[in-house]
Amino acid sequence: MFRLIEGNFDHPKVNQLLKKHFIELRAASPEGSAHVLDIPGLKVQSIKFWSLWIDDQLIGCGALKFLDQNHGEFKSIRIHDDFRGKGNGIKIINHLIEEAKKHNITRISIETGAGKFFAPARKLFDVCGFKPCPPFAHYKEDINSLYLTKHLDNN
C-alpha cells in the first residue's frame, strides 16, 4: 500500500532524489530558464511537499505552491528512476490536486521545459488534463519554457 508523507525533506532518500532532480533539470535548461527550487526554496511557508512511498522504497515526490487564494502551482514533481513508466506520476499529481481542492484552489499551473528532456513530463501533464496557458505568477515568456494550467472542479 502506498503512503504519502508530508515535508520529509531531510530523509536521506528524499534528499538524494531532490538533489538528482535539481542537477538534471539545471543541466537540461539553459541559464536563466531553470526554475527548479532547491530544498530551502521548497521549505517556504507557501509550499507543501509530499513524498510517496511503498514500504521503505521512495517512489517520488511533489509540491504544491500557493500563488494566491485560488491559484496553485506544482513544483518538484519527480519519480524515482526505478518507478517511472508505471503510473506513479499520475498518483502524485492526483494527490496534489486533492490537496489543492482541500485548500479551495480552483486553478493549478505548472512551468516545465520545452526541450526533449522534458517530453515525458509534458506527456504526463497532457494526460492529466493540463492545457497551455500564458506565463503566470513571476514567469515571463521564454522559448525554453512551457506553461500549463488546469481548472479544478471543487465539488
Q: What is the DSSP string of 36-98?
A: ---HHHHTSTTEEEEEEEETTEEEEEEEEEE-SSSEEEEEEEEE-GGGTTTTHHHHHHHHHHH
Domain ranges of the chain: 2-151
* Residues 74 and 93: beta-carbon distance below 8 Å: yes
Q: How many Cα neighbours within 13 Å face the side chain of 151?
A: 1
Which CATH number describes the domain made up of 2-151? 3.40.630.30
Q: For the residues 71-98, what does the mean pLDDT come to?
A: 92
Percent of the chain with pLDDT over 70: 99
- The whole-angstrom separation of Cα 93 and Cα 4 is 12
Highest mean pLDDT among 3-7, 114-118, 147-151: 147-151
pLDDT at 35: 79
